[in-house]
């Protein structure tokens, strides 16, 4: 057996053992994450996060093969930080810290074994995994304020079009229909999923050329990310107002049935369209589809 083949075999076995060790270390965390994603309306999108990250890594496989593997001891610091977060999260039963520790430890292992160049190439897929970490306690604290905000702005929208609306806390009342803005209607679920999508969208944006343009690219990308919050919240308020109007004219069954589900999908696509428009308005036009999926690479 040639020495190169033996070397690759040893490296493969070593990396497999490292991967197995990480899986064993975080097995209970993965189980808890899957259970949370399945049960929580806020994180139903989280199943897609590791899939997208894995696809982005797979797509960079040719670039990874051409990079020298130069390990860095700086990665050990991240590994120790990840283990510390895992200990704190396990001791305090905080799933968010345990999930965050996995991302930190994974980054540390890659940096230590493969070096800064590989880490730089895989930076985004690793950071993207943060969107799968559920911060349920924080969301529950924010949800009530968003519910109040949604009820207030939806009532304002209805008042602007001449609807006789009465707002009592989270309850919106008109003559023939009453709607209480519950937790699922806070817009928080849409905000989380759209934030992850916006983060991916910004990563794939291109179109700025020249030193002056590239200089402001990061600021414009940040502007697109921050625009998600007002876009999603206003779209959610508009949806609530429309549901109230439908309930008033067509009855409660019409407002809470297929229209309620269909309006959610419609608002999602409207929000996505507005996000893309903001990107175009800031000059961040042109998603690099050729870099996302090269058909010639797949065929080969």
The pLDDT tens digits along the chain (300 residues) read 455 656 667 777 878 888 899 999 999 999 999 999 998 888 888 999 999 999 999 988 888 888 877 878 888 999 999 999 999 999 988 999 999 999 999 999 999 988 888 999 899 999 999 999 988 777 877 888 899 999 999 999 988 888 888 888 888 888 878 888 888 788 888 899 999 999 988 888 754 444 444 555 777 888 888 999 999 999 999 988 888 888 888 777 767 766 666 777 888 888 888 988 888 887 766 555 444 444 334 333
Q: In terms of C-beta density within 10 A (0-12 exposed, 13-18 middle, 19 or more buried), how is residue 108 classed?
A: buried
Residue 299 has a pLDDT of 39
Q: What's the CA gap between 152 and 280, in Å, rounded? A: 31
Rounded to whole angstroms, how far apart are CA atoms 27 and 32?
A: 9
- β partners of residue 287: 205
pLDDT of residue 2: 56
Helices assigned H by DSSP within 162-204: 188-203
Residue found by looking up tokens 């800064």 in the block: 116
So what's the pLDDT on residue 294? 46
What pLDDT, on the 0 to 100 scale, is given for residue 33? 94
Which H/E stretch holds residue 166? Answer: strand 166-168
At 243 the pLDDT is 87
Distance CA 11, CA 230 (A): 49
* pLDDT at residue 300, as a whole number: 35
Give the long-range contacts of residues 101-105, CB within 8 A, separation 24 or more: 102/22, 102/26, 102/29, 102/129, 103/127, 103/129, 103/130, 103/133, 104/78, 105/22, 105/78, 105/79, 105/81
Q: What is the pLDDT of residue 15?
A: 80
The token pair that represents 12 in the structure block? 């493969």
pLDDT number for residue 211 = 44
Rg value, the chain, Cα: 23
> What pLDDT is attached to residue 4?
60
Domain borders along the chain are: 3-130, 141-296
The position carrying tokens 């020298």 is 68
C-alpha dihedral sign at 81, 86, 91, 96: positive
Closest among 295, 284, 142, 134 to 220, alpha carbons compared: 284
According to the model, what pLDDT value does residue 1 have?
47
């Amino acid at each position: 057996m040639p020495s190169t083949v033996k070397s690759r075999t040893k490296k493969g076995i070593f990396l497999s053992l490292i991967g197995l060790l990480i899986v064993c270390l975080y097995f209970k965390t993965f189980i808890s994450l899957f259970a949370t994603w399945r049960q929580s309306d806020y994180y139903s999108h989280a199943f897609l996060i590791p899939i997208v990250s894995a696809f982005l890594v797979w797509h960079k496989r040719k670039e990874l093969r051409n990079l020298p593997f130069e390990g860095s001891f700086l990665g050990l610091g991240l590994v120790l930080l990840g283990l510390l977060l895992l200990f704190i999260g396990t001791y305090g039963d905080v799933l968010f810290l345990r999930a965050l520790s996995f991302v930190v430890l994974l980054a540390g292992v890659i940096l230590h074994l493969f070096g800064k160049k590989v880490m730089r190439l895989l930076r985004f897929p690793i950071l993207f995994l943060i969107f799968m970490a559920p911060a349920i306690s924080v969301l529950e604290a924010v949800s009530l304020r968003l519910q109040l905000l949604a009820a207030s702005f939806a009532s304002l929208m209805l008042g602007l079009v001449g609807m006789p609306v009465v707002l009592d806390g989270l309850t919106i009342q008109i003559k023939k229909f009453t709607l209480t803005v519950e937790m699922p209607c806070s817009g928080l679920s849409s905000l989380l999923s759209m934030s992850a999508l916006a983060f991916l969208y910004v990563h794939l944006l291109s179109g700025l050329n020249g030193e002056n343009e590239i200089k402001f690219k990061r600021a414009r990308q940040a502007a697109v990310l921050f625009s998600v919050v007002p876009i999603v919240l206003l779209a959610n308020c508009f949806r609530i107002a429309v549901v109230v109007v439908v309930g008033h004219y067509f009855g409660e069954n019409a407002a809470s049935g297929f229209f309620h589900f269909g309006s959610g999908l419609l608002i999602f696509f409207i929000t996505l369209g507005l996000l893309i428009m903001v990107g175009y308005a800031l000059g961040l036009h042109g998603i690099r589809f050729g870099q996302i999926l090269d058909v010639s690479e797949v065929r080969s």
